[in-house]
Structure 1
Amino acid sequence: MAGRKVCIVGVGKIARDQHVPAIDASPDWELAATVSRQGSVEGVPTFRDFDVMLAERDDIEVVSLCLPPQPRFQYARKALKAGRHVMLEKPPGQTLAEVHHLQRLAAEAGVTLFATWHSRMGKGVAGAKAHLAGKEVTGGRITWKEDVRHWHPGQDWVFEPGGMGVFDPGINALSILTEILPKPVHVLRADLDFPNGRQTPIAARIEFSRGVAMELDWLQTGPQTWDIEIETADGSHVVLRSGGNELWIDGERKPVADIEEYPALYARMADLVSEGRSDVDLSPLVHVADAMTLGRRNIVEPFAF
């Protein structure tokens, strides 16, 4: 039996590296079309105009939006109004209000809206959440340092309003944090480093309640660092490394899940569509918005790709 037909909008690095392979490997899905100004996928019909795709391909049930957050709202709005289920790459939108509006549209149309957080599907995340359940968190540290030139080569949109800067990767850590903690935390203060002439930060230091601290840096070369450490009142020490894919508890490495992040996202989407439900958790985006609101702005040296 053929899977549900899906259209990818935005054929860039994340679509090629993650979405296309996940769809191709899944019995639940068939990549039936793409929409992109320049990119394409071999053997798959390509549209340059999203409105034309919606008009001509009423057989496509699901639209997976992989383009940057700045234009994403208008595409999602059109897809929902056309009665299509929608997957949103992270972050789900430029603002909270945008995504709240999309939630209302999805409910009115009776279709599924899935705000995906791929790092929540990290292989060790479920195990960390299970271990921390019912415990009192007394402290924690998030260290998320990577090379923007490697992951976003020449992509100036990340430094434009709505691009989120270093919070583009940092929101991955926040998606894990908000998933595994038994009780929520909130931002107390933040320091944000903006390159001279750029509109979004390239580094940040954030302090949360419950003794949780976060350090973000988008200029780290060599090995990349994606670590979360959590301490609890009973002396337990939980560490997630490699973006949530390695789990260590009290110094011992633990077994983790087998399924990769993006295949897990598409399996989740298949379940949501079948069950007629949506999944839109905005708590990671709330932390970003709060950090931007409370953050002290520091101007640092200019950045160029």
Structure 2
Amino acid sequence: MKLAVIEIGSNSIRTSVYRSSKKNRFKTLDRWREPVRLGKSIAQSRLLTNEQIEETIDVLKEFQNRIEKFEVDRISLIATAAVRLAKNQSQLIFAVLKETGLRLEVIDEKEEAYYDYVAVRNTMRIKDALIVDVGGGSSEISLAKKGRLKQGLSIPIGAISISDVYLTSDPIKESEIAKARKAINEHLDSLTWMKTPATFVGLGGTMRALASILNREGKRKKTLHNSVISCEQVDQLFERLLHVNNEERSQIRELSDGRYEVILGGILILSEIIKKTPSKEIRFSNFGVREGYVFNYFYKAARNKD
């Protein structure tokens, strides 16, 4: 069985094509990414613009054409925080169905955290994990103990929302950093369960960019999944990026696709979260919501077949 999953995020639209194998596992046949900043308008007005909707549909049509050669059994189209928070999400859902024939499934907060957990559970040998996914429009935090999900939620702050609302100067001012930290901690202070001893697992766009930069600079192996980054490395990279302007950040290969504008907001969220935990390092997962969705889908398909 072949499944294509298109994920509309706050910073980009990503697509992967998968083929199922035995024991509910799968192989990734191909993947694509197109930067589409839906989260930018959401942070300011909670509305998707007509231009963003048109751009989204153009990208979806392009991805449909690419998917066609794989002869998939199903295309699943899912959306996370940017669409979830949009007051006019129904406008996008209707336009997508009319123009592409695809039904858009908006993943709710708990589902998003759950799919992150499923992805980590199936790809990392970790029983106790605090799973943190810093996205563009939201951040998901889950706690697994002895391989079982104990807590899972989404907070409405992400790399784009923090960057666009608080970190607006170039270079960024210390006063803006202080205000952003305060706003982030207003969402974190009540989550006392984050103090539970567990392996800190980071995933999502911000974490992938961090791992890629540090991996390249350290001349480590190419495989990012399961690589470990110390909190000290995160803080040092943040300071380096903070003291250069947007133009200089855009020259960094891993940030050149527009992530340079929001990377500091994402790192700040990650840094404030880890301060609430006993962890001194982050283990990177290259698998997240999309893969969690796929694991869940193939598991259900196999169970129904049996």
TM-score by length of 2: 0.31
TM-score by length of 1: 0.31
Structure with more helix by fraction: 2
Structure with more strand by fraction: 1
